[in-house]
Amino acid sequence: MKRIAAALIAALLCASAGGGAAPAAVDQALIEGSAMPAKLSAFGLFAGNDPARPVASFAYTLRTPLFSDYAEKHRFVSIPAGKRATVLADGTVDFPVGTVIVKSFGWPDFNEGRPVETRLLIHRASGWVALPYIWDADGRDASLAIAGRRVPVAFKSPDGTAHAIQYGVPNRNQCKECHSRAGTIVPIGPKARNLVLADTVGADTRALYFTNPAALKPVMPRWDDPASGTLQDRARAYLEANCAHCHNPEGSASNSGLFLRWTDPVGVNYGIGKRPTAAGRGSGGMDFAIQPGDPDHSFLIYRLESLDPGIAMPELGRSTVHKEGAALLREWIAAMPKDAD
């Protein structure tokens, strides 16, 4: 995957030099049509269909990303020639029709570092469409997996622990669960407060692809970097990236009344002294989502540290516990005054 990261940087340089014209390899008519091709190569998003040679308008990272079983993710965006995205007042990005947001998942110590899957989020005139592709065994192409699939994966997490899991590639309905806002599919990762463009993406390139590039201000800290923000802000960044796509007033978990966006006030609706609503056995018999000063009696922690399908949160996208993320939230809750509720 490091080879892919280097290629993404090279792709940026090519895109910058191209004056904004989408490379000829990209089949823009297919992207903007209604077809769902069986093979990823049909879109022309990778030169020679090599995942190390993306055809990108720009690559990006996130200051705090969604945890996905310790997978490394490499992301890029393809925007059609002559069109630009706009950062809206709430920090979300309005990408034009014809945009494709591409995200590949893999592990450096598995499958020789090649990606296991590549997900496309395509903006068509009818709305956003999510298409998951699983790379074939020979690595030459990837096949559409509308119904999702379990893929056996073995890797080591940063602390050296060996994992052998059935990695879950989501089906299209599961894609909708996480990417839903008021019942409509939308991008959830690239928000101005979390979006980081590569250093190679200079002012001219930013102006080429954004109507208001000055609004691209990633103010969220990195969850795992104490120098980037306070303990509370890093915890809030983690919850924004991992929970807020469902836990917001227009998300699929709106009925919980637990809202975990970066912009939400840290109060009862953020979980502080909040009693369970629609949690079922996910509360573990505990009284509060967050019990200030007591992470062991906060069911937010209980759910993050569980792998039971009826308890675990997030519900989708992981087969392992993110020990480091849970440790951050434990530290944050433990530091709260016990009368904070």
pLDDT single digits (tens) 20-54:
444 457 999 999 999 999 999 999 999 888 887 88
- Model pTM score: 0.89
Residues whose CB falls within 8 Å of the CB of residue 142, separated by 6 or more in sequence, listed in order: 39, 40, 41, 117, 118, 133, 134, 135, 136
| Distance, CA of 46 to CA of 144 (rounded, Å) | 16
Domain boundaries, the chain: 2-215, 226-334
The pLDDT score that the predictor gives to residue 223 is 97
Q: What pLDDT band is residue 217 in, cutting at 50, 70 and 90? A: confident
Q: Which of 1-5, 76-80, 202-206 has the least mean pLDDT?
A: 1-5
- Calculate the CA dihedral of residues 168, 171, 172, 174 and round it to 10 degrees: -60
Residues whose CB falls within 8 Å of the CB of residue 215, separated by 6 or more in sequence, listed in order: 87, 192
| Distance, CA of 201 to CA of 198 (rounded, Å) | 6
CB 254 within 8 A of CB 241: no
How far are the Cα atoms of 174, 263, 274, 287, 327 from residue 291, in angstroms, in the given order? 31, 21, 8, 8, 15
- Rg value, the chain, Cα: 20
CB 242 within 8 A of CB 325: yes
pLDDT single digits (tens) 116-131:
999 999 999 999 999 9
**What mean pLDDT value characterizes the chain?**
88
Report whether pLDDT(257) > 50: yes
Encoded amino acid at 339, one letter: D
Q: Give me the half-sphere count of Cα atoms (radius 13 Å) on the Cβ side of residue 33.
A: 9
Q: What pLDDT band is residue 182 in, cutting at 50, 70 and 90? A: low
| Distance, CA of 249 to CA of 73 (rounded, Å) | 28
